[in-house]
Amino acid sequence: MQQENSQNLITLTEASTMAGKSVSTIRNWIRKGKITGHKEDPGNKNSALFVDQGELRVFLGLNGKVTSPNVGRGEDLSVSLKAKDDKIQQLILEKQVLELAVKNGQQLAVKNDELVASLQNNIKDRENQITSLNNQVEQVLSLLASCQASVAKLTAENKQLMTYLTLPFWKRITTSLMLEDKNDNKK
């Protein structure tokens, strides 16, 4: 216990008399952090507990309102400096957590934008590949149509030749037109 504050410190019995409350209520206020409790010997858990007289007066002044029986008890305001410091530290930690969350969100947004741009480039590349493949397919189909026409022509010529070869030899000599193309005759 500090010497300079010892003049302002009062026992829990004196505080209960001053507040018009029981000693257990004063202890409860200390436990809840509404007012600050000071031990005579902080290292000894069984040492006498004191309260700052000025702090108790401020607390009683802030919380001395009469409540309506229909409303119930209002929440007592804390004047404990320790409770205020704890609340400030809690708010600082919450602020840091929120700043970190915002920073992470911004980083995720940047990565998301990069991913979207990369995917759009991949889509353009795939579209170009599809266009190229479509052109190749058209060329192959054109070549296939040309081959089919050639096959049809060769099949017709083969059929004509087979017909000619199945004729008896004396008829083959007299029918030379079988070997000629019908288009050649029209010329």
45 found inside a domain: yes
Would you say residue 178 has pLDDT above 80?
no
Q: What is the pLDDT of residues 3-27, one digit of tens each?
A: 445 678 999 999 888 888 899 999 9
1 found inside a domain: no
Q: CATH number of the domain that 27 lies in?
A: 1.10.1660
**Confidence (pLDDT) at 177:** 55
**Confidence (pLDDT) at 151:** 94
- Domain holding 27, by residue range, is 9-67+74-79
Q: How far apart are CA 59 and CA 38, in angstroms?
A: 16
49 found inside a domain: yes
42 found inside a domain: yes
And the tokens for 65? 């309102």
Q: How far apart are CA 185 and CA 173, in angstroms?
A: 19
29 found inside a domain: yes
Q: How far apart are CA 110 and CA 183, in angstroms?
A: 72
Structural domains counted in the chain: 1
149 found inside a domain: no
88 found inside a domain: no
Q: What is the pLDDT of residues 116-163, one digit of tens each?
A: 999 999 999 999 999 999 999 999 999 999 999 999 999 998 988 888
